[in-house]
Structure 1
Amino acid sequence: MSGGGTSPDYVFAPHERPLLPGSPATPAHPTSRRFAYFAIGVFVGLTGGFGNAMVTTNLANIQGSLGLYSDQAAWLTAAYLMTNVSMSLLLVKFRQQFGLVTFARIFLPAYVLVTAAHLVAHSYTTALIVRGASGIAASALSTLCLLYIIQAMPAPWRLKGIVLGIGIPQLATPLARLLSSDLLERGQWTVLYVFELGLALISAALVMLLRLPPSERMKAFEPLDFLTFALYAPGVALLCGVLAQGRILWWTEAPWLGYAACAAIVLIAAALLIEHNRANPLLNTRWLASRDILRFALVATSVRILLSEQSYGAIGLLTALGVGNDQLIMLGLVMVLATIAGLAASAITIDPANLGRPIFWSVALIAVGAFIDSHATNLTRPQNMYFSQALIAFAAVFFMGPTLLIGILRALVKGPNHIVSFVALFSITQSIGGLAGTAFLGTFQVMREKFHSHSIVQSLTLADPQVAGRIQSLGGAYGKVLGDPSLRQAEGAALLSQQVTREANVLAFNDIFLLVTVLSLAVLVWIGIRQLRMYITGVNPMSEVLAAMARTRGQ
């Protein structure tokens, strides 16, 4: 089966035609081919997800290998997101105008080349360039994953396919935590990229072996699209840079953060101003500014920020307690299993008429998991967080599919041109929302650590027999190498200071978990009130959207 643009060799029934230009047709496939499409979709989705997951979960190793400071290492993940978020604008229109064959032939080999470039990117500058290129290529692979999974589903299960297609790449992060320790034992951090290169080559071969059905094309690009992108992309990139570096360099200490934030606002505002006055906009500002879409964006961003409890909060606490990646293998396995369970549960229970319910339960699970974690001590280890992190990993994918469907169904009702606007919005809420969550929780953690450290130190005095005894006991460890009592006391005081810092960090992370709990409950109340109002009034906005879609397709 060949893929790509319209071909006279293919005649599809009306229900098999592509829903949108740039999307493949959905003909009936034999069962064996459906299984093949599903397997390829899973493989491609995981390959695309590994691009960022391998770097994120092993940033400390890469930082050490390249001899970087923490702020320099943060640019590696920021560079990926800078390009990944922006390219979502152009990739949709690229498929609409040039078809799936060109799309796959350009971006799959590009991903292979980018991954191979990691192996020779031994300098910091080349590593940044490669990370940025990887963000572009990974955006294309996540799209292919979704399209392949949809092909694997019979018509009544297409919505389930969307849920699975958007959730499968989320498995990459816990899998990377599960696999990377064994890979690092076999060599330097470049072994991670050898593994990723192997996945990329296999993905390219599989996609060429079993191509997607053809798609319909249309003239999509307009000259002003590129002007908008030229303003929007650097604006988003600057915003990513500010969020990635703010808590590390500190918000008020580095003047360039303020200048970059101002420039980001000006550039994005200029792009939106151009789009607001266009007849056929790339970003439909009037639709994006509507009450329903703003509410959707707020909920989606809020949940993504809350999910930073896992990526920054739980992992950050364990790292502060000296737990390494090799000790996180079982926790990674628990997260993988919980993520698979969340995907399955979301696909099985998806109800287009009530997409708010799974989001409600996802936020509830985040609140429960964060509250359990808020009782951490310096004796907390990965096994103490299995249950809480399983809840949050489950919630992370349980909410994502319904959230995507809420937006995409609303966009389809308004017309194909609104899809680009929704894709850009969804990408911002998830990618920049996650970055903002880390920045917000990281800033809060630093402030609370200083507060707790000050509170603890304030109560420590050598006049207290317990403090004096602790210093003497800690300094006694150096008794065989330090004969001078004053030096032993100084070393004991230094060790006590380290213990104070550790305890202050634990208390600060507990404050993070409590903050996430409170914020989750606030979001829960908000969603719950809307759900209750819907039941009382009998007015279901999604039912109205589905009815409008049925009328549109009937015409």
Structure 2
Amino acid sequence: MTYYAFSADEQPASPGSPYTPKLTRTQRLVYATAGVLIGLMSTFPNALTNVNLANISGSLGLYVAQASCLPALYFGMNASSNLALVKGRAQFGIPLISQGLLALYALTAAVQLIWPGLLMAALARLTNGLAAGALNSLCIFYLLVALPVRARPLALVVGISLTQFGTPLARLIPVELLAVNQWWGLHCLELAVPLALLAVTLIFPLPPSERVVTFERADVLSIALLTPGIVLACIVLGMGKAYWWHDTPLLGELSMACALLLAAGVLIEANRERPLLRLQWLSALNIARFIGVAFLMRLALAEQTFGSVGLLAAAGLNNDQMHDLFELVALSMVAGIVVTVTLLQERRLPLMVVLAATCIGVAALLDSQSSNLTRPHQLYLSQSLIGFGTTLFIGPVLLYGFIQMLRQGRENMISLVVVFSITQNVGALAGSALLGSYQLERSHVQGAALSDHLTIGASDVSARLATGSAALRAVVPDPLQAAVQSGALLARSLNGEATILAFNNAFQLLAGVAGLVVLTVSLSILRRHFLQTSKQKEP
């Protein structure tokens, strides 16, 4: 490849993108396989940590509330990483950026194995978020090289869809494998992923990219202000429910620091001649609508990452009892990619988003009828709809933003990538935080409403207490203690029922969010149709 003379039609689309030489079928298959592997593994280590967070916190010497900052650190760094990565790839080349970040992540994961604790866990999540930001683009680049010219727009759609498989795959890993020697198995697996991907990029390197000087001195100041501001915002969202929003002064202090950093960064960007974030372009109506829809959809997708899993966890189920469910979710996500690729046309992009939001809304309504007897097999349909809607939404909405960017100038590339990354990462955290907080508040309301019907002396309450007391006599001989324990069991049963009802309320809220997306995009489609019809009628 060193002495290959690239023709005019093999030039990179932009600085930082690879050349696209003519390849044999075998070479295309190799690049496609590498791209798929990179896409699937880009979010897998963080998802593996997230779905087992409550269990591994003890092995790290942390309370669960303290450990809640770890996913936030990942999301914050991943959301802000493209402030520097887009220009970094163009100036230093794809191999240096991607392989350097993978090596850094592998190093912190290795050190975490030796010295587990909060500090190393936090550094591992930060470097994981940074590396994942590079891997998301790297997956797209590998697919771009593998596909023929006419099919290259599919690289963007399929590449970003593959990054959504992290959580379903993480749910399929047996807990026994991960929990070996105080969760040493999980940390070993986390180390294996960057090492494997580093080997893939070294054995099957991308074609070279066009390198140009892109960084300016003012970029350093903007990145230094915006990156910690976004990370702090994610920490507040991640820890808000655990420590509660208005009970912890530290959350207020972090929020203030976040606001100051972001305000200073935006002020600097607004007064730059060549800013990283083109605020005027981002405030245009079609782009603002794109940002709003992308953010709301990510909020609605919390139905699966927090809602349905939280519902089953409240019933005492763990990952091993959800394998069949998440196998179906993964297959549904594959089906979503297939449908997206089959139907992909610019005029159909809004319709595909409407269909995806409808699937999520219907799924949320189905789950809102749950009870304390709900088990994974009863969620097969609803969670499959969400898996299908996830990949049906993520690719088309990013492609829509990319098309708008191309029409108005490639200088908006960084703005598009950064804002889309923020909507997905911050939206994911915000969805879990807001849904979890709403569910907790509703559980108190539902618990109070249920307790109003439990009056001392009522025949049904007395019968329930007597039955419970009689059942406990075999292990609690003292009648008084048996009666106390029976009352405690009744209270626990009431709290469990209130929790399920609160989850149902949360699902109804998410159905409303999905409905808002359907309404917004549908009105946009109708408006565009009306304008086109009016122009055709003009003489």
Q: What is the CA–CA distance in structure 1 between the aligned matches of 2:383 and 2:427, rounded to whole Å?
A: 20
1:35 maps onto 2:29 in alignment:
yes
Q: 1:310 to 1:339 in 2, by over 3 A?
A: same
2:76·2:234 contact (CA, 8 Å) conserved in 1? yes
Query: Normalising by the residue count of structure 2, what TM-score does the alignment of the two structures yield?
Result: 0.96
1:166 maps onto 2:170 in alignment:
no
Q: 1:117 to 1:338 in 2, by over 3 A?
A: farther
Report deviation, 1:495: 0.5
Q: What is the CA–CA distance in structure 1 between the aligned matches of 2:431 and 2:99, rounded to whole Å?
A: 36
> What secondary structure does 2:173 align onto?
helix
Q: State which of 357, 360, 363 in structure 1 corresponds to 2:354.
A: 360
Q: What's the counterpart of residue 490 of structure 1?
A: 484
Q: What's the counterpart of residue 221 of structure 2?
A: 227
Q: What's the counterpart of residue 454 of structure 1?
A: 448
2:99·2:201 contact (CA, 8 Å) conserved in 1? no
Q: What is the CA–CA distance in structure 2 between the aligned matches of 1:311 and 1:221, rounded to whole Å?
A: 37
Q: What is the CA–CA distance in structure 2 between the aligned matches of 1:111 and 1:42, rounded to whole Å?
A: 20
Please say which of residues 304-313 and 208-217 is displaced more in the overlay.
208-217
Report deviation, 1:185: 5.8
Report deviation, 1:539: 7.3
Match for 1:348: what amino acid? T
Report deviation, 1:271: 0.6
Q: State which of 297, 302, 306 in structure 2 corresponds to 1:308.
A: 302
Structure 1 moving runs of 4+ over 4 Å: none
Q: What is the CA–CA distance in structure 1 between the aligned matches of 2:337 and 2:105, rounded to whole Å?
A: 26
Report deviation, 1:218: 1.3
Q: Provide, for residues 223-275 of structure 1, a one-character-per-residue CA deviation record: whole Å limited to 9, x for no partner.
A: 11010011101111111111111122111111222222222122112111111
Match for 1:191: what amino acid? G
Q: State which of 173, 184, 203 in structure 1 corresponds to 2:178.
A: 184
Report deviation, 1:35: 0.6
Q: State which of 497, 500, 503 in structure 2 corresponds to 1:503.
A: 497
Q: What's the counterpart of residue 537 of structure 2?
A: none
Q: 1:347 to 1:455 in 2, by over 3 A?
A: same
Match for 2:500: what amino acid? V
Q: Provide, for residues 413-471 of structure 1, a one-character-per-residue CA deviation record: whole Å limited to 9, x for no partner.
A: 33332111111101110000111111111111011100000011121122111111111
Match for 2:411: what amino acid? N
Q: What's the counterpart of residue 16 of structure 2?
A: 22
Report deviation, 1:511: 0.5
Q: What is the CA–CA distance in structure 2 between the aligned matches of 1:133 and 1:522, rounded to whole Å?
A: 36
2:105·2:124 contact (CA, 8 Å) conserved in 1? no
Q: Provide, for residues 80-125 of structure 1, a one-character-per-residue CA deviation record: whole Å limited to 9, x for no partner.
A: 1122212111011000111123223412322322332332241122
Match for 2:185: what amino acid? V
Q: What's the counterpart of residue 79 of structure 1?
A: 73
What RMSD, in angstroms, separates the aligned Cα atoms of the two structures? 1.6
Q: What is the CA–CA distance in structure 2 between the aligned matches of 1:141 and 1:198, rounded to whole Å?
A: 15
1:389 maps onto 2:407 in alignment:
no
1:481 maps onto 2:475 in alignment:
yes
Q: What's the counterpart of residue 271 of structure 2?
A: 277
Q: What's the counterpart of residue 148 of structure 1?
A: 142
2:98·2:131 contact (CA, 8 Å) conserved in 1? no
Please say which of residues 344-353 and 423-432 is displaced more in the overlay.
344-353
Please say which of residues 57-66 and 444-453 is displaced more in the overlay.
57-66
Report deviation, 1:10: 4.2
Q: 1:539 to 1:144 in 2, by over 3 A?
A: farther
Report deviation, 1:186: 4.9
Report deviation, 1:477: 3.0
Q: What's the counterpart of residue 341 of structure 2?
A: 347
Query: Normalising by the residue count of structure 1, what TM-score does the alignment of the two structures yield?
Result: 0.93
Q: What is the CA–CA distance in structure 1 between the aligned matches of 2:45 and 2:15, rounded to whole Å?
A: 28
Q: Provide, for residues 129-185 of structure 1, a one-character-per-residue CA deviation record: whole Å limited to 9, x for no partner.
A: 221122112222222111111111111111112111111121121011011435236
Q: What is the CA–CA distance in structure 1 between the aligned matches of 2:123 and 2:107, rounded to whole Å?
A: 13
> What secondary structure does 2:476 align onto?
coil
Report deviation, 1:38: 0.8
Q: 1:199 to 1:250 in 2, by over 3 A?
A: closer
Q: Which runs of 5+ in 1 are unaligned?
A: 3-8, 541-555
Q: What is the CA–CA distance in structure 1 between the aligned matches of 2:115 and 2:325, rounded to whole Å?
A: 31
Q: What's the counterpart of residue 375 of structure 1?
A: 369
Q: What's the counterpart of residue 533 of structure 1?
A: 527
1:58·1:180 contact (CA, 8 Å) conserved in 2? no
Please say which of residues 24-33 and 405-414 is displaced more in the overlay.
405-414
Q: What is the CA–CA distance in structure 1 between the aligned matches of 2:170 and 2:22, rounded to whole Å?
A: 35
List aligned pairs for 1:69-218, cutoff 5 A: 69-184=63-178, 186-218=180-212
> What secondary structure does 1:490 align onto?
helix
Q: 1:147 to 1:539 in 2, by over 3 A?
A: farther
Q: What's the counterpart of residue 330 of structure 1?
A: 324
Q: What is the CA–CA distance in structure 1 between the aligned matches of 2:500 and 2:492, rounded to whole Å?
A: 12
Q: Provide, for residues 285-339 of structure 1, a one-character-per-residue CA deviation record: whole Å limited to 9, x for no partner.
A: 1111222211111000000000101111100111111111110111111111111
Q: State which of 407, 427, 446 in structure 1 corresponds to 2:401.
A: 407
1:307·1:396 contact (CA, 8 Å) conserved in 2? yes
Report deviation, 1:363: 0.3
Report deviation, 1:522: 2.3
Q: Provide, for residues 55-94 of structure 1, a one-character-per-residue CA deviation record: whole Å limited to 9, x for no partner.
A: 0111122123224222211011111112221211101100
Q: What's the counterpart of residue 42 of structure 2?
A: 48
Q: What is the CA–CA distance in structure 2 between the aligned matches of 1:294 and 1:331, rounded to whole Å?
A: 36
Q: What is the CA–CA distance in structure 2 between the aligned matches of 1:463 and 1:389, rounded to whole Å?
A: 43
Kindly, what percent of the aligned residue pairs are identical? 39
List aligned pairs for 1:259-270, cutoff 5 A: 259-270=253-264
Q: What is the CA–CA distance in structure 2 between the aligned matches of 1:506 and 1:130, rounded to whole Å?
A: 35
> What secondary structure does 2:373 align onto?
coil
2:105·2:131 contact (CA, 8 Å) conserved in 1? yes
Q: What is the CA–CA distance in structure 2 between the aligned matches of 1:192 and 1:95, rounded to whole Å?
A: 31
Q: Provide, for residues 486-535 of structure 1, a one-character-per-residue CA deviation record: whole Å limited to 9, x for no partner.
A: 11110001011110010000000001111111222222122112112222
Q: 1:46 to 1:117 in 2, by over 3 A?
A: farther
Match for 1:118: what amino acid? Q
> What secondary structure does 1:25 align onto?
coil
Q: Count the aligned residue pairs.
A: 534
1:111·1:138 contact (CA, 8 Å) conserved in 2? no
Q: What's the counterpart of residue 422 of structure 1?
A: 416
Match for 2:321: what amino acid? Q
1:54·1:180 contact (CA, 8 Å) conserved in 2? no
Q: What is the CA–CA distance in structure 1 between the aligned matches of 2:146 and 2:112, rounded to whole Å?
A: 33
Q: What is the CA–CA distance in structure 1 between the aligned matches of 2:417 and 2:503, rounded to whole Å?
A: 34
Q: What is the CA–CA distance in structure 2 between the aligned matches of 1:50 and 1:114, rounded to whole Å?
A: 16
1:47·1:196 contact (CA, 8 Å) conserved in 2? no
Report deviation, 1:187: 4.8
Q: Provide, for residues 341-396 of structure 1, a one-character-per-residue CA deviation record: whole Å limited to 9, x for no partner.
A: 11221122111233211111000001110111011000000110011000001111
Q: What's the counterpart of residue 543 of structure 1?
A: none
